[in-house]
Amino acid sequence: MASQSLYRKWRSQTFNELIGQEHVVQTLRNAIVEERVSHAYLFTGPRGVGKTSMARLLAKAVNCIDPNPAARPCGRCHACTTIAEGRAVDVIEMDAASNTSVDDARELIERVQFRPAEMRFKVYVVDECHMLSTAAFNALLKTLEEPPDHAIFILATTEVHKVPATILSRCQRFTFTRHSVAATSAHLRQIAASEGLDLDAGAPEAIARAATGSMRDALGVLEQLASFGQGAITLEQVHSLLGMTAAAEVNALIEALLHDDLGSALRAVNGVADQGADIRQFTRDLVERLRALMLLRATGDPSLLDVGEDELRVLEGWARRADTVALVAWIKLFSGLDFQLRTTPYGHLPLELTVVEALVGDRGLGRGPGTGGRGPGATPSPPVARVAPPVRAESPPITRAPAVAKESPVAVEESPAVAEESPVVAEESPVAEESPAAAPSPEAFIAANADFTVLERIESLWDDIKRDVRPRSPTVQALLHSIRPIDVEGNTIVLLASSQFHKDSLEKPPNRRIVEDVINKQLAAVFAIRCTIETKTETRDLRGQIREARKDEMVRAAMNIFDAHIVEIEPDV
Ligand SMILES: [Zn+2]
């Protein structure tokens, strides 16, 4: 294979070749044909979904010399080829994340006043634009206020909430979505065929799932696998490269759960542990599979699932036997395990306990599955009662990094668990056994912090959530304009409505279902919603204190850097 990366090699050269993002393509195409291209665009969305590819296509399209506007970019003319090769002097690509020199970015932007050297338009592509320096931002803002006719700015970001409103308001904004497993695996198959690579059945889907919607990550993995050498790329190779547990083990455990067969269930867990597999990853895979099963069982609609053909058949078989209530309880139980598995000194014990709880919880333990009390001392704690409560909110779909981490297409672990080193982090404290009324335990702090992390995520996605509700029901979308998320309590998202009417309307089961659906899709998790019309103002309680503390930029920065939690709040004296 050529030294060139597969992602770059197969970067789409025309709109037709682009995978996904049809809504963006359509709008941009129309703009080209009707010659009403804006001077500023903002492309937002997760990494690896084609923002910069699209930016280059647009740069080519506005400069392409093909006589037929509908055929632009042609991919063949001088403008198209020089831009594709990154040699065009009039197309300036900047990565704000890596551009360390503050002055460079500002100077580059200020030079927009000079006319293009050889093309119709001077196009600036600014990747991760939220990281521009203040000076560069000001220069950009000034330019966007009165852009020269020959200038087009294409800003891209993964974190749109960090882009100042003054910039946002001057840009035409497009939201890029993750690629589905089906689209990613189809693309992988096609590229593998062109590269003469043999992929075993199921391998493209496994890669696609691990890439969580990022085509770049998916192709990075394919490239790694290809470099292993001869023969077909097997599912085992994919799994071992990605550190994924074989789907068979997950399936065995689900089979056992569905048959209420505790012996087989525990054997499956121990089988995984014996192989030295990553128990956390196994548990995440389990949760993901159970979630798919629940969606299928609850709706009968496979289009809600992002799975390949083979997998769908297995899920359909299970769905006929599964019980929705039990599924929900299991998902709650297992999704609460991630944090505990990261910090426990007891290996896979938490998973074993949870399996037992899942199957005998409602009989043997005297309470329904998944009904652990929140907070310390909510229930007298038998060993299993400790499994869920303090950690439940940090469910894997929210906090985990995609199986493929940022820096490398194949790294699997998320940011190292710095819990132990970090200065502001909770540890198992020997004095944790205080009365809960006096001082919240470290565990309560962890739970509350985890809840807030989820809340922040929901807040940042709130606009997207409202947008996604619209096609399902414009009425509910309108309703959401008067409603906002204010808290997360375990697996419940608390929404604040501006009136009783709004609250009542949202809580009608069909409406509530739409909102829960969309939220859970956005978060890839299982949350219920609860509506309230009172704002909680008691800042004396733990949640209130944490909420206040998190408003402080320094605190936020420290928490981000150390992946840390707030463990103690000293009152101002
Ligand atoms: Zn062209």
Distance between Cα 52 and ligand 1 center (Å): 18
In 76-121, which residue ranges form alpha helices assigned H by DSSP?
78-84, 102-110
CA distances from 432 to 88, 378, 429, 438, 442 (A): 63, 15, 5, 11, 7
Distance between Cα 70 and ligand 1 center (Å): 11
* Helix, coil or strand: residue 371: coil
Q: Which CATH architecture has domain 442-562?
A: 2-Layer Sandwich (3.30)
So what's the pLDDT on residue 370? 39
So what's the pLDDT on residue 32? 94
Distance between Cα 213 and ligand 1 center (Å): 29
So what's the pLDDT on residue 482? 83
Nearest to 305 by CA among 292, 317, 286: 292
Residues 368 and 362: their CA atoms lie apart, in Å, by 4
- What CATH number matches the domain at 6-175, 3.90.650.10, 3.40.50.410, 3.40.47.10, 3.40.50.300? 3.40.50.300
Residues 109 and 123: their CA atoms lie apart, in Å, by 11
Listed as ranges, residues in the chain with pLDDT below 50 are 1-3, 364-438, 538-539, 573
Distance between Cα 6 and ligand 1 center (Å): 23
Distance between Cα 498 and ligand 1 center (Å): 53
Residues 127 and 43: their CA atoms lie apart, in Å, by 9
| Burial of 9 per CB tally in 10 Å (0-12, 13-18, 19+) | middle
Residues 414 and 262: their CA atoms lie apart, in Å, by 32
CA angle at residue 73 from 68 to 75, to 5 degrees?
Answer: 115
Give the N- to C-terminal CA distance of the chain in Å, as an integer.
Answer: 66
Residues 488 and 68: their CA atoms lie apart, in Å, by 54
Distance between Cα 500 and ligand 1 center (Å): 58
Distance between Cα 73 and ligand 1 center (Å): 5
* Helix, coil or strand: residue 101: coil
The Cβ-side half-sphere exposure at 411, using a 13 Å CA radius, reads 9
- What CATH number matches the domain at 181-242, 1.10.10.10, 1.10.3720.10, 1.10.8.60, 2.40.10.120? 1.10.8.60
CATH code of 253-399, in short, is 1.20.272.10
Spatial contact of 295 and 305, defined as CB atoms under 8 Å apart: yes
Distance between Cα 38 and ligand 1 center (Å): 19
Residues 325 and 348: their CA atoms lie apart, in Å, by 26
So what's the pLDDT on residue 426? 38
Distance between Cα 489 and ligand 1 center (Å): 54
Distance between Cα 54 and ligand 1 center (Å): 15
So what's the pLDDT on residue 385? 29
Residues 411 and 402: their CA atoms lie apart, in Å, by 10
So what's the pLDDT on residue 540? 53
Domains of the chain by residue range: 6-175, 181-242, 253-399, 442-562
So what's the pLDDT on residue 77? 95
Distance between Cα 57 and ligand 1 center (Å): 10
pLDDT tens profile 547-561: 667 666 666 666 655
Distance between Cα 69 and ligand 1 center (Å): 10
Q: How many residues does the chain have?
A: 573
What DSSP state is assigned to residue 233?
B
Residues 207 and 184: their CA atoms lie apart, in Å, by 9
For 383, phi and psi rounded to 5 degrees?
-50, -40
So what's the pLDDT on residue 561? 56
Distance between Cα 127 and ligand 1 center (Å): 23
Task: Note whether 253-399 and 442-562 share their fold.
Answer: no
Structure tokens at 67: 């006589």
What DSSP state is assigned to residue 17?
G
